[in-house]
Amino acid sequence: MAIELQGHRGARGLLPENTLPAFERAIAIGVDTLELDVGVTRDGVLVIHHDRRLNPDLARGPDGKWIAAPGPAIHSLGFEELERYDVGRLRPGSEYASRFPHQQPVDGTRIPRLEELFKKNTQVRFNIETKISPEAPQETLAPEPFARALIAEVRKAGVAARTTIQSFDWRTLAVVEREAPEIATAYLTSRRNSDPAKVHAAGGRIWSAPFEELSVQKLEAARNLGVKVIVWTVNEPADIARMIGLGVDGIISDYPDRVLEQLKRTGAR
Amino acid sequence: MAIELQGHRGARGLLPENTLPAFERAIAIGVDTLELDVGVTRDGVLVIHHDRRLNPDLARGPDGKWIAAPGPAIHSLGFEELERYDVGRLRPGSEYASRFPHQQPVDGTRIPRLEELFKKNTQVRFNIETKISPEAPQETLAPEPFARALIAEVRKAGVAARTTIQSFDWRTLAVVEREAPEIATAYLTSRRNSDPAKVHAAGGRIWSAPFEELSVQKLEAARNLGVKVIVWTVNEPADIARMIGLGVDGIISDYPDRVLEQLKRTGAR
């Protein structure tokens, strides 16, 4: 009944999100799982980035300037083009940067291939989100080829048993369940649509819920349905405490160090 | 770093408070500690009862009727007189009874001697509150003789290593610390006066706080002072979850079964 500790985008509170330094830090802290996001480049490379379009709050071009909004779609760029961008520092003065005052920049850091990350560690689990939306079909691969590309990469690395694929776009999860039943799936819900019954009705066994929406009642409902509950993104000490106390199945945090400290205090680690 | 589970007045939510059936139930549930209250009769017997005056919401006289308010002071009665009262059922229709709808009556149950309880079990810990107040000096023994009577009883039973003496009336704790340093003390604070710095300044090492007053900040402050934090009386699932998640040192509950279940869910048991 241990609570699974997941480092959000590695450890976004501490180091640039979805980069190898952040993943290495999360592993050093002792997370069970690296939470991360993937897209697919024009030439079919699985890369780790949260946004369907390159994020102007963290990507700098070869000229050293943060890119203009909207950034180019990941899927519109070849991998070599993508590697020209530096994602090691949040745009100074941005609202986004103000949200992560403890994030240490690592200038020169590039968007990693998923393959590189898989090679880094033989113990840690992966919770990989497919960044795709029915509202922006032109910005990514379609659900089937997207899911298949990810499945292939997971299988090639031999990490299926340590991998969960999560998505707000449940179409990709259906593909995974049908074509790669050895890989677990997790159903992300938005703040206005957080109902474990819907997850269960869709065949889901893991519900990845915004923590603000989780009540004792919803947690109980999920348990009665046999649905596990992972919560995101839990950063403040009082919230971390509340989630641990509820006995959720997993906690996704930008500050996995804080969660681990609190787990130790409660005797749950 | 395990969280200590204390059954409040035995297990008030389940069986008549401060009675042997309630203590036995709490032990069967698996509490670490029995929380209870004591007074001293006119003839010097330590007895287990929450109120300085016999509580009209739970005490019936030999005529089978619940006594009129105010009840007689425990200290004004001899032990044999006290034993005439039945404390096995809450007064039907009272506000107090409405607060504990799951409490099963045990008609015929008497106020126990502390000595009887000590003989019941060789494992469980005791957290014993001295029911005395500076505002009602005529209703009890004075602090020194009260504390000394309790110390003597604890020593006679050989349970000092498993006993904590707690009080809102810190005068009795000073006596215990001076005269029986082998017995731990815990400083109860009221809702309007909950400050770990005051406990520390008075020499306290355990703060017994109303859970509603406990914030992450106050818990942190207590930790920095080396003061342990026990919270009372935590009965509702969401509150139990919050306190477990905060990583308090102990939880006092009328429903120790609920706390234990939640501790198991979080992996802390």
Q: Report, as an integer, the average pLDDT of B236-242.
A: 93
Best CA proximity match to B216, nearest among B208, B224, B226, B204: B224
Q: pLDDT at position A191, please?
A: 84
For the entire predicted model, the pTM comes to 0.86
DSSP string, chain A: -PPEEEETTTTTTTS-TTSHHHHHHHHHHT-SEEEEEEEE-TT--EEE-SSSB--TTT-B-TTSSBPPSSPPBGGGS-HHHHTT-B-SSPPTT-HHHHH-TTPPP-TT--PPBHHHHHHH-SS-EEEEEE---TT-GGGS--HHHHHHHHHHHHHHHT-GGGEEEEESSHHHHHHHHHH-TTSEEEEE--TT---HHHHHHTT-SEEEEEGGG--HHHHHHHHHTT-EEEEE---SHHHHHHHHHHT-SEEEES-HHHHHHHHHHHT--
What was the pLDDT predicted at A1?
59
Q: For residue B164, which of B185, B179, B148, B182 has the smallest C-alpha distance?
A: B185
Say yes or no to pLDDT of B126 above 80: yes
Pull the structure tokens for residue A151: 């499945």
Inter-chain CB pairs, A–B, below 8 Å: 71
Name the band, by pLDDT with cuts 50, 70 and 90, for residue A247. Answer: very high
| Nearest-CA distance B36 → chain A (Å) | 25
Tokens coding B170: 């810190």
Chain A residues whose beta carbon lies within 8 Å of the beta carbon of residue B241: 216, 242, 245-247
Beta-bridge partners for A250? A4, A230
CB-based contact B242 A247, cutoff 8 Å: no
Tell me the ipTM for this assembly: 0.74
Residue B102 has pLDDT above 80, yes or no: yes
Nearest to B240 by CA among B225, B251, B228: B251
Model pLDDT, residue B67: 98
Indicate yes or no: CB of A242 within 8 angstroms of CB of B240: no
Answer yes or no: do A268 and B267 touch at CB < 8 A.
yes
Q: Match domain B4-55+110-266 to its CATH number in 3.20.20.190, 3.40.50.720, 3.40.50.280, 2.60.40.10.
A: 3.20.20.190
When pLDDT is averaged across residues B240-247 and rounded to a whole number, the result is: 93
pLDDT at A98: 97
Compare CB distances from B245 to A1, A216, A244 and report the shortest one's residue: A244
Token representation of residue B158: 């050989």
Percent of chain B clearing pLDDT 90 (strictly above): 94
Per-residue pLDDT at B1: 59
Which of B216, B247, B264 shows the shortest C-beta gap to A266?
B247
CATH architecture of the domain A4-266 equals: Alpha-Beta Barrel (3.20)
Crossing angle of the two packed helices A216-224 and B237-246, in degrees rounded to 10: 100
Answer yes or no: do A267 and B1 touch at CB < 8 A: yes
Give me chain B's average pLDDT, please.
96
Average pLDDT (B2-15) is: 97
Closest C-alpha to A130, from A116, A115, A117, A114:
A114
pLDDT at A39 over 70: yes
Percent of chain A residues topping a pLDDT of 90: 94
pLDDT in tens, A69-103: 999 999 999 999 999 999 999 999 999 999 999 99
**pLDDT for B139-156, tens place per residue?**
999 999 999 999 999 999
- At A120 the pLDDT is 84
Residues of B with CB under 8 A from a CB of A: 1-3, 215-216, 237-238, 240-247, 262, 264-269
Q: Categorize the per-residue pLDDT at A192 as very low, low, confident or very high, splitting at 50, 70 and 90.
A: confident
Q: Do B268 and A265 lie within an 8 Å CB cutoff?
A: no
Average pLDDT, chain A: 96
Using a CB-CB distance cutoff of 8 angstroms, which residues of chain B are in contact with residue A245?
240-246, 262, 266
Pull the structure tokens for residue B195. Answer: 């400050």
- Asked if the Cβ–Cβ distance from A246 to B243 is below 8 Å, we say no
User: Does position B216 have pLDDT exceeding 80, yes or no?
Assistant: yes
pLDDT tens digit string along B32-80? 999 999 999 999 999 999 999 999 999 999 999 999 999 999 999 999 9
Round to whole Å and give the CA distance between B215 and B209: 11
Report the distance separating Cα A206 and Cα A225, nearest Å. 11
Q: What is the C-alpha R_g of chain B?
A: 18
Specify the DSSP class assigned to residue B254: S
Domain boundaries, chain B: 4-55+110-266
pLDDT-derived band at B103 (thresholds 50, 70, 90) equals very high
Task: Tell me if A241 and B240 make a contact (CB, 8 A cut-off).
Answer: no
Instruction: Convert the pLDDT of each residue in B159-183 to its tens digit.
Output: 999 999 999 999 999 999 999 999 9
Give the Å distances, CA to CA, from A223 to A234, A252, B236.
21, 19, 19
Minimum CA–CA partner of B223 in chain A: A265
- Chain B positions touching A266 (Cβ under 8 A) are 1, 3, 244-247, 266, 268
Q: Which residues of A touch B (CB under 8 A)?
A: 1-3, 215-216, 237-238, 240-247, 262, 264-269
Q: Do A19 and A264 meet the contact criterion of CB atoms below 8 Å apart?
A: no
Helix or strand (DSSP H, E) at B24:
helix B20-29
